[in-house]
Amino acid sequence: MKRLGILISGRGSNLEAIADHIARGTLDAEIAIVIASRAEARGLEAARDRGLPAISIPSKGLDREVYDRLLLDELRKHAVDLVCLAGFMRLLSASFIRQFPNRILNIHPSLLPAFSGLDAQHQALEHGVKITGCTVHFVDEELDAGPIVIQAAVPVEAGDTVESLSARILKEEHRIYSEAIRIVLSGRYRIEARRVILI
C-alpha cells in the first residue's frame, strides 16, 4: 500500500476528503502522516479524530532549510511515497523538492497558470472571469508552476462572493485531488516537457 504524507496549515478539508476516499475504498493508499505547519491548524484535530497519525512542526521563526530538514526527517521516518500539499502555506526549498522528484503534489484553487499565489478566488472575481476552477499539479521549484495532473472548471456566477465561489471550487478540489493521487500512484502516466500524459 502506498503511503501518503499530507502537509497542511489550516482547515484540512482536502485532507479529510482524501481520508474519505480511502475509507470508501475509492483511493487505494494510506495516510502515513499528517504534518501541520501550525499547532492550531484545524485539520490536525480532524486528522486525530479519524485516528490518523498527525503532528505539528511549527514553522514560525525557523529558517527554510532547517524547517524543511525537519519535514524531511518526519516524512522519511514514516516511509512516505507521495507528499500531498493540502493548504500548506509554505514554500518548500529546492533541496527538499529534489528529495521527492515528481513525488509532491499541490492543489490550487484556480485554473493555473491563471491566478497563482494567494487569494486565487478573490483574484478570479476581481478579474471578472466567467470560469475558474482548481488544479492539481506536481510541485517544482517555482510557485504553483509544475506539470498539471488534473484541472476542473467551475463557473463564476452572478453575485458570487469569495465565500460562495470558494465553496463551489472546494467541492471540485475534494474530487480531483484523490483522482490525481490515484493517477500518480498508479504510475500510468509520463511527463513530456510540461505535459502529463496518461497512459
Query: Which residues sit at the interface with ligand GRF, rule CB under 6 A?
Result: 8, 10-14, 43, 86-87, 107-109, 170, 173
In whole angstroms, give the CA distance from residue 124 to residue 164.
13
CB of 174 to ligand GRF, least distance (A): 8
- Provide the b/e sequence for 48-74 (b: ≥16 CB within 10 Å): eebebebebbebeeeeeeebbeebbeb
CB of 199 to ligand GRF, least distance (A): 27
Catalytic, 108? Answer: yes
Q: How far is CA 190 from the centre of its chain?
A: 20
**Which strands form 189-192's sheet, in the order they lie side by side?**
54-56, 30-36, 3-8, 82-85, 104-108, 131-138, 148-155, 195-198, 189-192
Q: Which of 18, 77 has the CB closer to ligand GRF?
A: 18
Q: Which of 21, 78, 108, 174 is catalytic?
A: 108
* Residues contacting residue 38 through CB under 8 Å, at least 6 positions apart: 9, 10, 56, 58, 59, 60
Q: Which of 48, 190 has the CB closer to ligand GRF?
A: 48
Residue whose CB is nearest to ligand GRF in the complex, by number? 87
Within the chain, strands assigned E span: 3-8, 30-36, 54-56, 82-85, 104-108, 131-138, 148-155, 189-192, 195-198
* Catalytic residue set: 108
